[in-house]
Chains A and B, each alone.
Chain A
């Protein structure tokens, strides 16, 4: 840019008094290169390919779109994907809070192992989780053999889907709530106690409301992840159309039959749902920030 002996002048840059460009000039170099690289890679790997699916789905009439995207079989698949993801997120919302509570508030043997294990769903390949859960909850599996006499069929039913999605979603709830719970200082509870509140009303009226936004966020993240999940589910789901077939599997099936348009249509429906959830999650987090500010 300039030699060490002569300091370059800015005469040739842009006219004096010009309004700021879309960013302030910065003393830290590398803006053009780093932003250029970021935007190009993002466009090439993510944005342009994603637009392909939208283009493909929009290359048909509206009635065709409805037929492909909302056929009874597709509706059944959405119902299962969204329904099971919702139930799993609800299960996680309950047990995730308990787990986070135990990790933050209690000392017990093996705590650090449990703490590490909570992240297992992030680290374990979904296919491995899928076959492990299928083996475990099959009628002759370690757990399934006790469920069968009770008349509970877990594997190859919607219940199996819920189990797999619970596995996948658990860390989202725990890891979202944990830091909030940790930051919730003991003096707030002590203040409540000094004002005469009993333990249960402290939990009900001080702690849980403070956890609210994190809880909702964790629930939404777990739900969003569950809706699109594929690997861990297909082994335990049974994959019967209208009954135990999830939406991502239906996309794969359409693709294998070269029904690209139908596959894209279902994909677009699911993408719209994901982005709607992303907006909801952002809104919850913005609300939480505003509340805590």
Chain B
């Protein structure tokens, strides 16, 4: 018998694994993150702050916040409705419905933008009708909203469905047998049990809504000050070789995603059951 426990790796294996992981994660995750801040601060804090506060940058920040403010409540309503239907009831075609909810995750973001161009673009299904009525969806804010709704569609639902399935229907049935109506049951019995999972889904949805690039890029038209979200603004500045500007706005987005990760980590620490694999 060797003195070390049979389920422990030898020290050199541990050292080898940890160094490989350290090198790999540095190259892929850590250095890119650090480089964003380094590039942003290349000429000091002043120019970076200046780049973040140009009118175009401010407009892009506002539009990004607006997008998230639309996408998140929509996602909550859809997610709770879908989870309520799927987890608390039996019906034919349920597993198909669950698969269909996940579809946006397997569609390229570019295709997500393309489909709305085909429907609402000037050559699309409703193109001439929209032009006649002077309604702009593509290359305008509504298109950005739609594309964002599409790419964030499954976030809350796929967080809540397994959680609510696991919790079963006992408490809701108990509430019903005591005379509670549907809304009362949802609000007083179900919601307290799913709030952390809901918050987790909202965090991820919010991060994606603020950060979406591909889908939004296709429908936005890149009109400065009007239809540029923060990620699109980063692209424009970058393509104009305004690296300090691009990386400064990018740094702002980085801070946002670090905040998301910290909140997510806290949530997982306090409520371990919320963690789900594979987003």
Interface residue A282 (Cβ < 8 Å from any Cβ of B)? yes
* Contact status A231-B231, CB under 8 Å: yes
- Docked complex Cα distance between A28 and B177 (Å): 10
Known: A37-B77, A179-B277, A255-B117. A126 touches B32 (CB 8 A): no
- Docked complex Cα distance between A49 and B86 (Å): 23
Choose one: A31, A116, A229; the contact of B108 (CB below 8 Å): A229
Within 8 A of B (CB), among A107-131: 108, 112, 114-131
Binds A, one of B45-53, B191-199, B261-269: B261-269
CB-defined contacts of B270 to chain A, threshold 8 Å = none
Of all chain A residues, the one with the shortest Cβ separation from B250 is A128
Known: A23-B92, A264-B114. A37 touches B257 (CB 8 A): no
Of all chain B residues, the one with the shortest Cβ separation from A249 is B110
Choose one: A98, A116, A166, A278; the contact of B262 (CB below 8 Å): A116
CB distance from A78 to the nearest CB of B (A): 12
- Docked complex Cα distance between A186 and B238 (Å): 51
CB-defined contacts of A41 to chain B, threshold 8 Å = 78, 81
CB-defined contacts of A98 to chain B, threshold 8 Å = 17, 20-21, 24
- Docked complex Cα distance between A133 and B109 (Å): 20
Known: A116-B262, A117-B25, A119-B264. A136 touches B31 (CB 8 A): yes
Choose one: B7, B13, B90, B204; the contact of A190 (CB below 8 Å): B7
CB-defined contacts of B207 to chain A, threshold 8 Å = 122-123
Within 8 A of B (CB), among A225-262: 227-231, 235, 247-249, 251-252, 255, 258, 260
Choose one: A50, A123, A131; the contact of B238 (CB below 8 Å): A131
* Contact status A45-B150, CB under 8 Å: yes
- Docked complex Cα distance between A260 and B124 (Å): 9
Known: A33-B81, A270-B108. A126 touches B29 (CB 8 A): no
Choose one: B7, B78, B118, B182; the contact of A56 (CB below 8 Å): B118
- Docked complex Cα distance between A124 and B116 (Å): 25
CB-defined contacts of B173 to chain A, threshold 8 Å = 27-28
Task: Give the total of B residues in contact with A, Cβ under 8 Å.
Answer: 104
* Contact status A125-B257, CB under 8 Å: yes
Of all chain A residues, the one with the shortest Cβ separation from B31 is A136
Known: A112-B265, A228-B110, A230-B109. A135 touches B35 (CB 8 A): yes
* Contact status B35-A52, CB under 8 Å: no
CB distance from B146 to the nearest CB of A (A): 7
* Contact status A228-B111, CB under 8 Å: yes
Choose one: A46, A170, A227; the contact of B103 (CB below 8 Å): A46
CB-defined contacts of A172 to chain B, threshold 8 Å = 278
- Docked complex Cα distance between A52 and B150 (Å): 14
CB-defined contacts of A122 to chain B, threshold 8 Å = 204, 207, 279
Interface residue B135 (Cβ < 8 Å from any Cβ of A)? no
- Docked complex Cα distance between A49 and B147 (Å): 11
Interface residue A143 (Cβ < 8 Å from any Cβ of B)? yes
Known: A35-B91, A52-B119, A264-B114. A143 touches B172 (CB 8 A): no
Interface residue A291 (Cβ < 8 Å from any Cβ of B)? no
* Contact status B123-A258, CB under 8 Å: yes
Of all chain B residues, the one with the shortest Cβ separation from A30 is B182
* Contact status A26-B39, CB under 8 Å: no
CB-defined contacts of B118 to chain A, threshold 8 Å = 49, 52-53, 56, 260, 264
Given contacts A178-B277, A193-B7, A231-B231, 17 further A-B contacts (CB under 8 A): A28-B185, A35-B91, A41-B81, A42-B97, A116-B262, A123-B211, A125-B253, A142-B35, A143-B31, A167-B32, A199-B6, A199-B9, A218-B278, A228-B110, A267-B111, A271-B107, A278-B99
Q: What are 11 inter-chain pairs, A to B, with CB distance below 8 A? A: A28-B176, A31-B85, A35-B91, A99-B21, A108-B18, A114-B21, A123-B204, A227-B108, A260-B123, A275-B106, A282-B99
Q: Which residues of B contact A (CB under 8 A)?
A: 6-7, 9-10, 13-14, 17-18, 20-21, 24-25, 27-33, 35-36, 39, 77-78, 80-82, 84-86, 88-93, 97, 99-104, 106-111, 114-119, 121, 123-125, 146, 149-150, 153, 169, 172-173, 176-177, 181-182, 185-186, 204, 207, 210-214, 217-218, 230-232, 234-235, 238, 243, 246-247, 250, 253-254, 257-258, 260-262, 264-265, 275, 277-279
Q: Which residues of A contact B (CB under 8 A)?
A: 22-24, 26-31, 33-35, 37-39, 41-42, 45-47, 49-50, 52-53, 56, 95, 98-99, 101-102, 105-106, 108, 112, 114-133, 135-136, 141-143, 163, 166-167, 170-172, 175-176, 178-179, 186, 189-190, 193-194, 199, 202, 217-218, 221, 224, 227-231, 235, 247-249, 251-252, 255, 258, 260, 263-264, 267, 270-271, 274-275, 277-278, 282
